């Protein structure tokens, strides 16, 4: 007892850290690190449990995985995500593109806002599954999957930082497929689409051809200017040096293509030379900086909505966009025109390196998506190869002292 009448409980020295038994009979553990004393976040029923906790903390310190528990306990998802986004870079160490950063910000303020005030350490797999199930109903598979992918990326960094032991977001939740299958158009369907544009929106007909035969992304072809085309007879070469994207709340952003490899020159089929010349003469101004596809009204570039009206009508004419219930089902998207271009380019015999160069891909994996046509053709040719004829069975008779005719046998027959 002390002079004040209060009982003093002495900490029991350990090989590392300290333990003390409380009046309740439970044990409290603490340790010193860099001149500061830290208590366990809870008490323990048994001394052995407290010692095991001390051992785990000491192991984290030795491995460089220790994190100040006071800061970890104060870490909310909203605060951590804001810092994560401000420090995030691409796989190549470059700052995030404005559109990507804006999309992440939108997802954090909407679908992921439910986790905003949560302590990161208390976000459990069950909590994430319940949230994802609700998002599937509210926003659909695509939005739920993309939001889950962002959540998994942020909490993956929290694992690296030592705030949590494992990522509570199952990779299966990041799937963004809605179950609808998409495919490139057939030659017949593409012909109907192009003809529909020629009759109803001729100023955008070349955009379809650039996507379907040049493999240009929509953000790339709408940023093209007259000076980006080099014409030599019927041969037209397109220099892809920029893209234009509209970012909600920001406006139009122009910059280099999606990747460094996106800077490229794309020769078009010679048969399209006449189409390009006609478009330049009828729909493009005479100055080098005039856009190939002039926007309507006061927009800086051709907006998605300005293209989609004609695009949807053309797809309906080709039968690749049909009404289903209260909505529409589209089996061919604008991006599938690029798939059409690269698949047929691969089928002509283009090597993987040539395919990457034309598509502006930085990885073999991305280019391999379009090489299925090569594999299918190779399989077809393999099946056409002549096979060996079935040979008659050869009978071999072992040496014997006499042959069937009674004469001496010299060896196998």
- List per-residue pLDDT tens for the chain, 413 residues long: 555 555 555 555 667 889 999 888 899 999 998 888 888 878 899 999 999 999 989 988 888 878 777 665 557 899 999 989 988 887 667 788 888 888 899 999 999 999 998 988 889 999 999 999 999 889 888 889 999 999 999 999 988 877 888 899 999 998 876 555 788 899 999 999 999 999 999 999 999 999 999 889 999 999 999 999 999 888 999 999 999 998 877 789 898 887 666 688 888 889 999 999 999 999 999 999 999 999 988 889 999 999 999 999 999 999 998 876 667 778 899 999 988 888 877 777 766 676 666 666 555 555 445 545 444 555 555 566 565 566 565 555 545 444 445 444 444 43
- Active-site pick, 51, 205, 217, 264: 217
Question: For the sheet containing 264-267, what is the strand order?
Answer: 229-232, 235-240, 264-267
Contact 360, 342 (CB under 8 A): no
Residue 39's DSSP bridge partners are 30
The residue ranges of DSSP E strands in 147-234, in sequence order, are 229-232
- Active-site pick, 12, 67, 180, 335: 335
Query: Kind of pairing, strands 12-13 and 18-21?
Result: antiparallel
Relative orientation angle of helices 141-160 and 125-139, to the nearest 10 degrees: 150
Place of tokens 């603490």: 30
pLDDT of residue 226: 97
Which pairs from 263-266 meet CB under 8 Å and 24+ separation? 263/360, 264/240, 264/357, 264/358, 264/360, 265/237, 265/238, 265/239, 265/240, 266/214, 266/215, 266/216, 266/237, 266/238, 266/240, 266/358
286: CB partners within 8 A, 6+ apart = 226
Backbone angles phi, psi at 163, to 5 degrees: -75, -40
Relative orientation angle of helices 77-87 and 98-109, to the nearest 10 degrees: 180
| Residue 64 Ramachandran class (φ > 0 left, ψ -120 to 50 alpha, else beta) | left
- Active-site pick, 27, 213, 345, 370: 370
408: CB partners within 8 A, 6+ apart = 401, 402
Nearest Cα to Cα of residue 263 among 241, 244, 236: 241
Catalytic residue flag (residue 370): yes
Evaluate if pTM is beyond 0.75: no
Q: How many residues are listed for the chain in this entry?
A: 413
- Active-site pick, 51, 132, 339, 361: 361
| Residue 37: its H or E element | strand 36-39
Catalytic residue flag (residue 99): no
Relative orientation angle of helices 141-160 and 98-109, to the nearest 10 degrees: 100
pLDDT of residue 413: 37
Rounded Cα distance, 194 and 208, in Å? 7
Catalytic residue flag (residue 152): no
- Active-site pick, 338, 339, 345, 358: 338
Dig out the tokens for 213 from the structure.
């035969």
Relative orientation angle of helices 352-359 and 335-347, to the nearest 10 degrees: 150
Backbone angles phi, psi at 405, to 5 degrees: -85, 5
Cα–chain center distance at 45: 48
155-174 b/e (C-beta count within 10 Å ≥ 16 → b): bebbeeeebbeebbbeeebb
Alpha carbon of 38 to those of 74, 246, 256, 364: distances in Å?
15, 51, 51, 51
């Amino acid at each position: 007892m002390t002079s004040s009448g209060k009982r003093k409980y002495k900490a029991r020295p350990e090989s590392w850290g300290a333990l003390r038994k409380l009046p309740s009979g439970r044990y409290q553990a603490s340790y010193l690190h860099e001149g500061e004393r830290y208590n366990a976040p809870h008490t323990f029923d048994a001394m052995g449990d407290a010692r095991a906790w001390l051992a785990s903390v000491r192991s984290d310190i030795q491995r460089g995985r220790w994190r100040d528990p006071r800061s970890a306990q104060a870490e909310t998802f909203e605060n951590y995500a804001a810092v994560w986004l401000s420090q995030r870079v691409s796989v190549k160490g470059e700052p995030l593109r404005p559109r990507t950063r804006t999309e992440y910000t939108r997802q954090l303020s909407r679908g992921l806002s439910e986790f905003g005030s949560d302590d990161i350490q208390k976000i459990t797999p069950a909590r994430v599954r319940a949230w994802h199930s609700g998002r599937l109903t509210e926003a659909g598979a695509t939005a739920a999957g993309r939001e889950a992918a962002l959540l998994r990326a942020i909490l993956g960094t929290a694992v690296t930082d030592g705030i949590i032991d494992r990522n509570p977001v199952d990779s299966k939740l990041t799937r963004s497929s809605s179950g609808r299958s998409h495919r490139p158009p057939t030659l017949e369907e593409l012909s109907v689409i192009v003809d529909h544009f020629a009759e109803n929106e001729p100023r955008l007909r070349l955009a379809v051809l650039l996507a379907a035969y040049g493999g240009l992304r929509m953000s790339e072809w709408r940023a093209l200017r007259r000076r980006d085309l080099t014409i030599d007879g019927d041969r037209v070469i397109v220099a892809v040096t920029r893209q234009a994207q509209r970012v909600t709340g920001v406006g139009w952003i122009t910059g280099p293509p999606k990747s460094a490899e996106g800077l490229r020159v794309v020769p078009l089929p010679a048969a399209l030379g006449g189409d390009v010349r006609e478009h330049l003469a009828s729909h493009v101004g005479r100055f080098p900086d005039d856009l190939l596809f002039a926007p309507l009204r006061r927009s800086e570039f051709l907006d998605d909505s300005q293209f989609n009206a004609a695009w949807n009508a053309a797809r309906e004419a080709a039968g690749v966009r049909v009404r289903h219930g209260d909505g529409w089902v589209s089996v061919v998207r604008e991006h599938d025109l690029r798939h059409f271009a690269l698949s047929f380019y691969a089928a002509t015999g283009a090597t993987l390196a040539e395919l990457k160069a034309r598509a502006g891909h930085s990885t073999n994996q991305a280019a391999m998506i379009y090489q299925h046509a090569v594999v299918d053709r190779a399989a077809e040719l393999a099946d056409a190869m002549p096979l060996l004829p079935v040979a008659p069975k050869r009978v071999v008779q072992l040496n014997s002292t006499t042959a069937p005719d009674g004469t001496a046998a010299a060896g196998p027959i």
